Homo-oligomer: A and B are copies of this chain.
Amino acid sequence: MTYLEKLENAVQKSQSTLCVGLDPNLNLLPDVTREKIGSTSELVFEFCSSVIDVTQDHCAAYKPNLAFFEALGKKGLKVLDAVLDHIPDDKIIIADAKRGDISSTAEHYKKAFFDKFNVDAITLNPLMGFETLDAFSDDESKGVYVLALTSNPGADDFLKKPFEGFDMMAEYIACSLFERSVNTEAHLGMVVGATQSAEARSVIEYHSKASLLIPGVGAQGGSLEELANTLAGHEGIPLINSSRGIIYAGSDQNNWKDHVSKAAKTLKENLSIITQNYVG
């Protein structure tokens, strides 16, 4: 099965394009989890597995952010591995790693994420050149999401500046990915920020069949109506990510899991104006 087929199945089955970002920040975890649990590693596992339990009816995908697991130190990847094991098989798992390196280093990142942790897709940073994608190109069952346009202020330093005859470097990236076609549309995606809709549209138009990973919804702002307009006609399947807006929705509440579940359910429903274009 190609990555695209697995993605289609996950969206169809859940009737959702929601991706829940797993960013377990120790300073923001619900107080109630702290009382019951011993070590930091156990606390993070308990939190993440609870979030997965109460959101899985509402999302197509989970996106663990590597930084938050590496911040646990030498036990970090063991906790990540346990959390990944807890995610149902019919969900897409995207390792938000933003790796970008060459030759044998890239091969080893591939080995880490695709072989050892067996995630479905990874986010990649192309600054060192498109050859950084080559190691991830030969297996269509695994997806890559290449950074194209982000929604942070620093996007003005590189990604939104004119480059190589394009109005924005992000367009150059999208166009190059399309022309290069080393990674086929069966497993190629782009990361495109949601908060700048006109700019996002000009980027995705260069590669209308690329899957999309769209951060910037929820805690980072961004209007869903605008996003629906931006995506109108785009053939590649979008996953819309929310991290903090969902997983910390009930941090100061005893019934925090209910708040997390409700936040995911509400966002899934609000995303239906987008999802309806990609489900049967």
Query: Which A residues are within 8 Å of any B CB, using their own CB?
Result: 23, 25, 65, 67-68, 70-78, 80-81, 98-106, 108-109, 111-113, 115-117, 125-132, 147, 150, 152-159, 161, 163-164, 176
Contact = CB atoms under 8 A, between A and B. Distances in A.
The 6 nearest A-B residue pairs measured at CB: A129-B154, A73-B116, A70-B112, A67-B108, A131-B154, A129-B157
A154 B125 contact: no
5 contacts: A70-B108, A71-B108, A73-B112, A126-B127, A131-B157
Given A68-B105, A103-B152, 8 more contacts: A65-B105, A70-B108, A70-B112, A72-B116, A75-B77, A76-B77, A128-B150, A129-B158
A112 B67 contact: yes
Contacts of A150: 102, 128-129
A150 B127 CA distance: 10
A248 to B, nearest CB: 11
B129 A127 contact: no
A106 to B, nearest CB: 7
A152 B164 contact: no
Contacts of A156: 129
A78 to B, nearest CB: 4
